[in-house]
Amino acid sequence: MEFRIADTFTDSLNKLTNQEQKGVKTTAFDLQLNPESPSLRFHKLAKTKDSHFWSISANMDIRLIVHRTANSLLLCYVDHHDDAYAWAKKRKIERHPKTGAAQLVEVRETVKEITVRQPVPIPTPSTKKKPAKKAPTKQPPLFKNLSEDDLLSYGIPPEWIADVKTATETTLFDIAEHLPQEAAEALLELATGGQPQQPTLLPEDSDPFSHPDAQRRFRVMTNQEELQRALDYPWEKWTVFLHPAQQHLIERNYSGPARIAGSAGTGKTIVALHRAVFLARLHPDAKILLTTFSQALANSLHLKLDRLVGNEPDVRNRIHTQSMREVARTLYKQAYGEPNIANPDEVRSLLITLANQTAPGQFSASFLWNEWKDIVDARQLSTWEAYKNVKRLGRKTRVGNKQRELLWTIFSKAIDTLKREKQITWAGLFQQVTHHLKEIDTPPFDFAIVDEAQDISIAALQFLCALGTRYPDSLFFTGDLGQRIFQQPYSWKSLGVDIRGRSQTLKINYRTSHQIRQQSDRLLPATIADVDGNIEERKTPSLFLTAPRPKSKSVMAQILNVSLSASGSQIVS
């Protein structure tokens, strides 16, 4: 008998108290171990549209709603007695007639009236007298030109077709909340001018739970460890339930380096985590580096990885989570001894002193520092010829040949001073480790998965290239060009990382409501291209359809917080 859990179960579990959750978990574990145990108090539910719904008592008040057949058992919902029964009366699990996917469908006749919520108005500072209210303009149906067969092909349950056919801009969000996720996503994509991807169509004799859309809401629990992971962190559904687009990118066989893009909230970090686990399982002897540009973010990855596979030591122990700098520092120490890292403030002061001695008043302190940080040190330029010919991509100030000669006089003296004092910058450390890795037979890691890849430095990318040599798909990046904060743009291809044909964009937003996302999209470009011409699309329909009325922040503040992700800023009103 297959034992499954639904995402609606983890959602409802999260709403219970800690003490109530403990009782539910114990009951769920007992149910998985022995579904026929006499200690389990099964009660068949009457007056439901689905004859396979049963309840199980966790205590005198809490009830688990399960879907029970001869071959499977599915945990669907948990709540207090009356609320749990009321939920079951409004739901049924059925195979979609067109796509073949198993769906948890809200029974249409139990929805007495779909309440249309009015959008929250964005406050303005205007003191002008409010104009008289105009009579509301009748809105045309959004999908009147789509046939019933068209709507069915997007996974819309048959009994909701009539509501969808009459949906307007005002009613769409409220109708979408009653639909399965794939149907709601398709309608939002159509309403905003896009073209949804056609769902997979399963043969009639296939298992409806094997459909990719079904697996985003129903997952088989093959052992108690998997069930424990799902129940221990019910608020973090990503540990169990994944969107089909995410699952495809995680398990895809790439012929070279790959990069997964997406705006804030699209699940890039989740893809990185699951990709690391997938590779660890696929290659039982491989060592995987899961890294990012800061140690704080690496610590967060470490915690999430523990939640994902903490109960699988054979997998977990082969995935190393640490920032790129700390990994490089460790490898440098093993090869050369403890590094003497130059203090950036002291290097900046050194540059100013040398400039005052060589070309007083000709270059500002900020220009000198940025030219050093983004060009000279970043690329580890060590000769006048290299500096004279380097492309200063991203630097807005033009520099003539005579100015370059003066600048190189300053920078070459700074380089000599650092060497004399046996100090090394982080870029220099990465370069030294890169040279070392090219000389040894076996690199310390077989795969490198990099999160927040938009902020990888040139030297760090070269370091990663030296790591990722064993397999064609040894390098896997996730990031968002729109959130780049610390690095000037540069060509990855010129450094040997060619992701053309292996650059994909996640398009579903899991964090921001559709209304807020729609407003913020007006402040952001629809697409962003990197230096090599790879294009990232930023149009992201939100899975979180509606938002409660803001309390401490205004709607405009929320919109700007989404938009300001490109600069790493945030406002609070």
Residue with tokens 């450390």, as numbered in its chain: 429
pLDDT in tens, 241-259: 888 889 999 999 999 999 9
Sign of the CA dihedral with 494 first, then 496, 501, and 504 last: negative
> Please, which pLDDT band fits residue 2 given cuts at 50, 70 and 90?
very high
Query: Is residue 333 predicted with pLDDT exceeding 60?
Result: yes
On average, the pLDDT of the chain sits at 85
pLDDT of residue 557: 45
Domain extents in the chain: 2-101+203-232, 143-199, 242-336+428-567, 344-423
Residue 515 near residue 295, CB atoms below 8 Å: no
Which secondary-structure segment (H or E) carries 188? helix 181-191
Residue 473 near residue 254, CB atoms below 8 Å: yes
Q: Which CATH superfamily, name and number, covers 242-336+428-567?
A: P-loop containing nucleotide triphosphate hydrolases (3.40.50.300)
Query: Is residue 542 predicted with pLDDT exceeding 90?
Result: no
Query: Is residue 146 predicted with pLDDT exceeding 80?
Result: yes
* DSSP output for 278-299: HHHHHSTT--EEEE-SSHHHHH
Residue 569 near residue 537, CB atoms below 8 Å: no
pLDDT of residue 552: 45
**CB burial readout 452-470, b (16+ within 10 A) else e:** bbbbbbbbbbbbbbbbbee
- CATH for 2-101+203-232 is 3.30.2310.20
How far apart, in Å, are the Cα atoms of 215 and each of 68, 228, 355?
Answer: 18, 18, 63
Query: Is residue 328 predicted with pLDDT exceeding 60?
Result: yes
Looking at 137-233, which runs of residues are DSSP E strands? Answer: 218-220
Report phi then psi at 232, rounded to 5: -70, -30
Query: Is residue 317 predicted with pLDDT exceeding 50?
Result: yes
pLDDT of residue 238: 84
Query: Is residue 543 predicted with pLDDT exceeding 70?
Result: no
pLDDT of residue 1: 84
* DSSP output for 148-166: HHHHHHTT--GGGHHHHHT
Report phi then psi at 216, rounded to 5: -80, -15
pLDDT of residue 423: 97
Rg of the chain over all Cα atoms, to the nearest angstrom: 28
Q: How many CB atoms lie within 10 A of CB 21?
A: 19
Looking at 156-252, which runs of residues are DSSP E strands? Answer: 218-220
pLDDT of residue 209: 95
User: What mean pLDDT is predicted for residues 383-400?
Assistant: 77
Q: How many CB atoms lie within 10 A of CB 380?
A: 18
Point out which residues pair with 56 in neighbouring strands. 42, 64
Higher-confidence residue of 549 and 81: namely 81
In sequence order, the 6+-apart residues with CB closer than 8 A to the CB of 404 are 387, 388
Amino acid making up residue 445: F
> Please, which pLDDT band fits residue 551 given cuts at 50, 70 and 90?
very low
How far apart, in Å, are the Cα atoms of 170 and each of 14, 115, 173?
Answer: 31, 11, 7
pLDDT of residue 281: 96
pLDDT of residue 139: 86
Using DSSP's 3-state secondary structure scheme, residue 368 falls into helix
pLDDT of residue 571: 34
pLDDT of residue 565: 42
pLDDT of residue 73: 95
Share of the chain above pLDDT 90, in %: 60
Residue 305 near residue 273, CB atoms below 8 Å: yes
pLDDT of residue 68: 95
Query: Is residue 546 predicted with pLDDT exceeding 70?
Result: no
In sequence order, the 6+-apart residues with CB closer than 8 A to the CB of 503 are 258, 259, 260, 261, 534, 536
pLDDT in tens, 96-136: 999 999 999 999 876 766 665 655 555 555 555 566 666 55
User: What mean pLDDT is predicted for residues 11-27?
Assistant: 95
> Please, which pLDDT band fits residue 555 given cuts at 50, 70 and 90?
very low
pLDDT of residue 253: 94
pLDDT in tens, 267-302: 899 999 999 999 999 999 999 999 999 999 999 999
CA dist 226 and 12 (Å) reads 18
Decide: residue 557, CB within 10 A, 0-12 exposed, 13-18 middle, 19+ buried.
middle
* Upper half-sphere CA count for residue 514 (Cβ side, 13 Å): 22
pLDDT of residue 196: 87
pLDDT of residue 341: 97
DSSP state of 351: H
pLDDT of residue 523: 56
pLDDT of residue 554: 45
Question: What's the longest Cα–Cα distance across the chain?
Answer: 90
> Please, which pLDDT band fits residue 507 given cuts at 50, 70 and 90?
confident
Report the 3 state secondary structure along 395-428. Answer: CCCCCCHHHHHHHHHHHHHHHHHHHHCCCECHHH
- Two domains, one topology: 2-101+203-232 and 242-336+428-567: no
pLDDT of residue 115: 62
Residue 293 near residue 535, CB atoms below 8 Å: no
> Please, which pLDDT band fits residue 236 given cuts at 50, 70 and 90?
confident
- The pTM of this model reads 0.79
CA dist 215 and 6 (Å) reads 9
Of 123-137, 383-397, 425-439, the poorest mean pLDDT is in 123-137
User: What mean pLDDT is predicted for residues 84-105?
Assistant: 96
pLDDT of residue 143: 93
Residue 186 near residue 164, CB atoms below 8 Å: no
pLDDT in tens, 443-460: 899 999 999 998 899 999
Decide: residue 488, CB within 10 A, 0-12 exposed, 13-18 middle, 19+ buried.
middle
Higher-confidence residue of 573 and 393: namely 393
User: What mean pLDDT is predicted for residues 75-97?
Assistant: 97
Using DSSP's 3-state secondary structure scheme, residue 536 falls into strand
